[in-house]
Amino acid sequence: MFWKTGKPGSTEASRQGAGRSSIARRLALLHILAVLVSYTLFGAFFYSKRMGQLEQESFADLSAERASIVAMMGQPDARVLVGYEIRTQQFEPENLRPFIRILDRKGSTLLESPWLGRTIPRGSFPPPGAALRWRSGQGESYLLESFRLPGQLFSGPGGVLQLGVNTHGEKELVGQIRLTLAAFILCGILFAFCCTFFIVRLALKPLNDISLTARNITRNRLDTRIDSSSLPIELVSLVDSFNSMLERLEDSFSRLSHYSANLAHELRTPINNLMIESDITLAKERTPQEYQRVIASSLEEYGRLSWIVDRLLFLARSDLEALELDRRRLDLRSEIDDIFDYYFDSACESGVTLELFGNAVLCADQTLFRRAISNLISNAIAYTPIGGAIVVTLEQGDDLSVSVTVSDTGRGIDEGHLPSVFDRFYRGAGSKEGNPSGAGLGLAIVKAIMQMHGGSVAVESAPGKGTRLTLLFPGGAAPMVQPGFNDIL
């Protein structure tokens, strides 16, 4: 009985596994089948070769008997010698005695072994010069031969020697060979069955160990990894893939936990503000003007909540790749001039100048491109001190790739924070001072937009020296068709 693997106590798993055969059983059956086929082929080959050898030996014995009789017939007293040979046959066991018949040229019998006529019919012998195997009605097998005798023998010219030999001994030997082969094959299969059970179980032990380790991994133990150093080489790739999956899961759970905590924090602040303001307002009677002021203040918080939800919805849909790009040919210099016009007043209030260099043409979603650049410029304005500058540089590659670089002369970002700036809700030290109303979603949205276009975004920064963000759009990419996306912007 081979074992089954599964979660202990799981009725559903047992029910599903009831109709399936295990790997161990399959391997064992295939191995036993291979052994059976191998032993059978070997037995058939050995039996065939041994039968051929026995056939040759039997005909060799027949030829030796014939040579002995012919030698006796060549002696001067041939008739006496052959007669004596024939008479002594009655004292030999029936299955060992040769049957002899000597015919003259007319076919008349000169000498004949006792009981030959009733044991082997005369017509059963082959013509002179031939030999054959003949089976009697009682199941006895004989080798029969007819041989034309030389003219100088006592039978005279044209005489024929008919010789028959019982092959009972050969039959017994064949039976023993068959019995031995059958016992050999049966014992070999039983031995293979026992060895296969042990070998397969030993070979599948690493899989059972992997299963046991995987079963003990919970959401609180995602840092567990399977050691592949002692595993067979065939399982190393599987274990490495499994460990990679665990790393991705651990990272995803960590991000989800961080994301949920930040989301709760970002939503809690405006909701608390609304609740506190409403409680204070309802604590006593207010004038219509005061109620209007409270409602107006609440609308600002509602707007913040709507802004956060809108960006979260955008990011969620971009993760699912359920968005469609409305690609069109864009003159990027013209597009960024329009964005500069929008942020001109804000830049003037912050004492920051906006500069644009270069030209480029790109096939991209216009709304998404503008949103990405707007997020970068809005961040740059928020973190660039008075007298600073924001420079946008456009470059078109020979392969039609496009890079858009947005650099500022702001406070910069510490090197330790750079790997996290594109994470959702991530806000580094001092970010709330520059942009207190931000939620840490702007750069995450920029990254998502670039991924939708098959591009990438990179950041370079140093404290006190400013920040440079580069958007790289690949060249020669076919327009991607994914669903209007502008309906959620």
CATH number 3.40.50.720 is the correct assignment for the domain at 327-488: no
Position with higher pLDDT, 313 vs 199: 199
> What's the maximum distance between 2 C-alpha atoms anywhere in the chain?
161
- Helix, strand or coil for residue 43? helix
> What is the CATH number that goes with domain 233-319?
1.10.287
Q: Whose CA is closest to 372, among 281, 449, 287?
A: 449
Residue 1 clears pLDDT 50, i.e. is over it: no
The secondary structure of residue 107, as a DSSP letter, is: S
Q: Across residues 333-354, what is the average pLDDT?
A: 89
Note whether 102 and 108 are within 8 A (CB).
no
Helix, strand, coil shares, percent, the chain, to 5: 55, 15, 30
Residue 12 clears pLDDT 60, i.e. is over it: no
Helix (H) or strand (E) holding 314: helix 288-319
Helix (H) or strand (E) holding 395: strand 389-396
For residue range 92-123, list pLDDT tens digits in order: 666 667 888 888 888 888 888 877 877 888 88
pLDDT in the model for residue 391: 92
Q: Whose CA is closest to 165, among 239, 84, 92?
A: 92
Instruction: Report the distance separating Cα 184 and Cα 186, nearest Å.
Output: 6
The secondary structure of residue 408, as a DSSP letter, is: E
pLDDT in the model for residue 424: 64
Contacts of 428 (CB under 8 A, 6+ apart): 413, 414, 417, 420, 421
For residue range 391-400, list pLDDT tens digits in order: 999 999 888 8
- Prediction pTM value: 0.47
Residue 49 carries which side chain, given as an amino acid letter? K
Q: Whose CA is closest to 417, among 462, 363, 380?
A: 462
For residue range 160-210, list pLDDT tens digits in order: 888 888 877 777 788 888 888 888 888 888 888 788 877 777 777 777 777
Helix extents (H) in 143-232: 168-203, 205-215
Note whether 255 and 423 are within 8 A (CB).
yes
Q: Are strands 389-396 and 353-357 parallel, antiparallel or unpaired?
A: parallel
Instruction: Report the distance separating Cα 200 and Cα 23, nearest Å.
Output: 9
**Domain regions of the chain by residue span:** 233-319, 327-488
Q: Are strands 353-357 and 98-103 parallel, antiparallel or unpaired?
A: unpaired
Provide long-range contacts, Cβ within 8 A and 24+ apart, for 301-307. Answer: 301/270, 301/271, 301/273, 301/274, 302/270, 302/274, 304/270, 304/437, 305/267, 305/270, 305/271, 307/439
Give the count of alpha carbons within 13 A of 301, CB side only: 19
Q: How far is CA 109 from CA 89, 106, 113, 151, 338, in A?
A: 18, 9, 11, 16, 131
> Which residue in the block uniquely carries the two structure tokens 């006529």?
117
